[in-house]
Amino acid sequence: MVEKKVTWLELFCDLLYVAAISKATHVLLRVNEGEVLFVNLLKFNLIFIPVWWAWVGQTMFVNRFGKDKFHQRFLIIFQMVFVLILISSLSVDFDRYYIPFLVGFIGVRVLTAFQYFLVIRKGKREQNKAAYYLATRFWIGIFISSCSIFCSSWFKYVVLYIGIIVDIFIPLFGRKHLVKHPVNTSHLLERFGLLTLILLGESIISILSVLHPQIGRWNAIGYSVLSFSLIISFWWQYFDNLEKKIDKAIKTTGQMILYGHLFIYISLSMIAASIQLLFNEEISYYFILNFIFGAALIYFLSTTLVFHKYRYEDQKLKIFHLSLFLSIILSFYIFDIFIPVSGIIILLQINVFFVIYAKVST
């Protein structure tokens, strides 16, 4: 497989998307009567998924067809203008900012689809099939989502997200075309790994901005240490697997990587929000217990599935390992259900689980 390096422009573009994800995560910090309302949980996902898909679309194009030429650089920079419009429109008040949100998202997707048309070349049959399929089929989702501008009230959101869902499923429906022009696995893992690393860094910044040590409140220091320890555990587990356990020569469509990381990124955002909610002590005990353990379980299952497919055969986890991890996290959860503990103890338990997960899985 030809070696492909991540460009500085790709990394610069990632910073914009991380800012968008950070804004989406703040929706989870809106507490009402001790809980994050279901409507805010829904809005978080409705904001997060289009941002993730906009990033994935361009990432997958660059992985298969990117050449770092002038016209591709220009289109990526032009696309970043629409990303900025998208970021500026992210709010729990969807109705007020709906038009700029739609313009930003559609602009990103149109430019992505257009780039596929530009790479269709004579004599490259398999490349042309993959590029032509994506270039033409992505317009279906774009058209459906664009039609939402003619709808009113809540129905416009239904039309918008039907288009986004169709867009997301296009690569799955076209697997027979894409498998003949596989992704560059090494580059793709590096791209997702770098975004993960930036998100972990952003998590540290957002958490420490809340955890201010004060006289007589040493628990803030405890929260800071445990939060940092937890993020280090994520880093250890994720990047040791990425560097040491993964066969990067495997040729696939990369769909397990891109769809699996949706749940990895959602769970990281949920855990970052959970730490801040635990520290502020404004949240219902049983709500935050379900929220943080649910997020931990999502991260565990999604990373396990993503890495399992690409692990060397002799490095794959066995049923015994999965049973061990599930028994540990369920034991902590059941204990906390019947014997309420402080927020810092919950955070310590999550730390213990992820340290064990990192050590055993790497």
pLDDT in tens, 303-341: 999 998 888 888 888 899 899 999 999 999 999 999 999
**159 band by pLDDT with thresholds 50, 70 and 90:** very high
pLDDT (mean) for 174-178: 88
Tell me the mean pLDDT in the region 67-91: 90
Confirm if 112 and 61 have CB atoms less than 8 A apart. yes
Alpha-carbon distances, residue 155 vs 147, 150, 162, 246 (angstroms): 11, 10, 11, 44
Q: Which whole number is the average pLDDT over 120-128? A: 67
Q: Share the mean pLDDT of the chain.
A: 88
Average pLDDT, integer, range 101-123: 88
CA distance 150 to 132: 29
pLDDT of 106 reads 95
* Average pLDDT estimate for 49-72: 91
Residue 95: band (very low, low, confident or very high) from pLDDT cuts 50, 70, 90 = confident
Q: Which range scores top for mean pLDDT: 167-171, 211-215, 271-275?
A: 167-171
Characterise 216 by phi-psi region: left (phi > 0), alpha (psi -120 to 50), beta (else).
left
Q: What percent of the chain has pLDDT over 90?
A: 49
Torsion of CA 60, 64, 65, 66, to 10 degrees: 60
Q: What is the pLDDT of residue 213?
A: 56
Q: How far is CA 234 from CA 241, 267, 348, in A?
A: 11, 11, 14
pLDDT at residue 243 tops 80: yes
HEC profile of the chain: CCCCCCCHHHHHHHHHHHHHHHHHHHHHHCEECCEECHHHHHHHHHHHHHHHHHHHHHHHHHHHHCCCCHHHHHHHHHHHHHHHHHHHCCCCCCCCCHHHHHHHHHHHHHHHHHHHHHCCCCCCHHHHHHHHHHHHHHHHHHHHHHHHHHCCCCHHHHHHHHHHHHHHHHHHHCHHHHCCCCCCHHHHHHHHHHHHHHHHHHHHHHHHCCCCCECCECHHHHHHHHHHHHHHHHHHHHHHHHHHHECCCCCCCCHHHHHHHHHHHHHHHHHHHHHHHHHHCCCCHHHHHHHHHHHHHHHHHHHHHHHHHHECHHHCCCHHHHHHHHHHHHHHHHHHHHCCCCHHHHHHHHHHHHHHHHHHHC
pLDDT at 303: 94
What would the mean pLDDT of 191-199 be, rounded to a whole number?
91
pLDDT at 1: 55
